[in-house]
Structure 1
């Protein structure tokens, strides 16, 4: 056994393979290639003199020796990372953290959070991706992102999450369309816009629409809230919108609330990360994110 030839990156790579399940996912997380990850594991097996992986066709799993090494080394590497951070604090932290967020969560709380995070950890690079909640959770589970701000609840045994507040949904239209909508049967049907069915808040919108006087044939779907807002501003119809995203338009009178419509239930948002991620920087960012509180808006 050549312990003196085992490097930190060998063990770090092994832990990421265990956390994410595949060599390719570990390679993406470590900003390297799958052949490089495979080479590191071959070197580690050669220097330990034991097999760490069991290969079965195209699949691969840890051997008992590999599982024991992961269990024994995980706390040692975590303590080493904490010790290194302790010498300079989080101001000296480095690396890249990938954050995923839904469009609504991003508009509600992400900009000030990111600004504060960069002030505390200027050396940490951030990669932010805006996507649907379903995609965000999948990317989190596969290690493509480290943290996600998503519509909740977030329920998965591999993830931990914290609620960060609720976002109100409001019926809005341009003043001209709102007047036509209020005319009822005396005016042509007004187009109605809702987020698409794969959005986690589509159900709330659909319930509110079903409880209203709107004909089902008037309903149109869009997977982008900002596009829906722009359509409403262009007199293209009425819609149910996330209140934080339309405060400016409402305050200047470009959009007005529709009277007499059933109020949609607010949407609760959560921040989530993998349970297995114990890196001090990620834990610190998650703790900071968990303290966020989205203003309830018109529902408050």
Structure 2
């Protein structure tokens, strides 16, 4: 039995799409269809049902899937036992929200390149909501964003959280003491994109403080948000880690004495299963990179969710 055809079958079952499987395996839909047809002929049974809603497994296909995953898992284990990481080829598609990109993404990517020099890294920057949708549709293998994702063959790991604080230009008209959250909310607030987790958290915080109709400017770019805050457009509500250099230089200042917004959590979500062992290794490298970044920045900038001893994966 052709293991390549079995791998194709597993991916079609996982992604529920011939088109997405073709993209994943660098092939064409015609080739994918041909492999599945050949496998169905060899087994003497239909493996998939195709209708206007997409592709689904037949009862026989479900049974075949269990055996196919075991066979491919065994083959992957064999290959890994006789090769080192430097010889591994492939592509890993990683998606990350802006906060990750502007903090620990670079050292993370460096670790991937050092450990797997033959692996192509495809990076996507987007909002948490869009990243979750792309993962579920099969366009991404790993994402780093704010929320747990529920679905078949999907795993989540809470990595940590970035404390979100009120940030103002040093010496500006916003750089003063506020008696309450209500008084602070009379100024313009600058934060992340509309309906994002930070935006919703700030709305909830203001609602709890009986603040009505606040002036909130939602910006989907960390660079743009930082520039607006520096230029005195309003009071920023974002992780201090994103403006650590500006804080060190004294250009920006943290406001104290008023309730702070909830922290911004970071969750790693990835597809797992047969043929996706590389994703597990990449997650281990992400944990290692984030731990080192947290040690460097301190708890005021990043609160780790998992002990450092679990991050040091060889």
**Same fold (TM > 0.5):** yes
Aligned match of 2:108: 113
Aligned match of 2:195: 198
TM-score normalised over the length of structure 2: 0.83
Q: Is the 8 A contact 1:53 1:66 kept in 2?
A: yes
Most deviating of 128-137 and 157-166: 157-166
Aligned match of 1:207: 204
- Once the two structures are superposed, what CA deviation does each residue of 1:92-132 show, in whole Å capped at 9, x if it has no partner? 11100001111112223221111111101100111011111
Q: Is the 8 A contact 2:168 2:174 kept in 1?
A: no
Aligned match of 1:48: 43
1:90 and 2:85 equivalent? yes
Q: Is the 8 A contact 1:101 1:150 kept in 2?
A: yes
TM-score normalised over the length of structure 1: 0.86
Which consecutive residues of structure 2, in runs of 5 or more, have no partner in the other structure?
180-185, 304-314
Q: How does 1:140-219 map to 2 (within 5 A)?
A: 140-156=135-151, 158-179=153-174, 190-210=187-207, 216-219=213-216
Aligned match of 1:257: 254
Q: How does 1:1-300 map to 2 (within 5 A)?
A: 3=1, 7-56=2-51, 59-156=54-151, 158-179=153-174, 190-210=187-207, 216-276=213-273, 278-291=275-288, 292-293=290-291, 295=294, 296-298=299-301
Which consecutive residues of structure 1, in runs of 5 or more, have no partner in the other structure?
none
- Once the two structures are superposed, what CA deviation does each residue of 1:228-269 show, in whole Å capped at 9, x if it has no partner? 111111222111111211101111111112243321121221
Residue 58 of structure 1 and its aligned partner are, at CA, apart by 6.0
Cα 1:89–1:73 change in 2 (3 A) is same
* Total equivalences in the alignment: 293
Residue 201 of structure 1 and its aligned partner are, at CA, apart by 1.8
Cα 1:180–1:56 change in 2 (3 A) is closer
Q: Is the 8 A contact 1:158 1:275 kept in 2?
A: yes
Q: Is the 8 A contact 1:181 1:190 kept in 2?
A: no
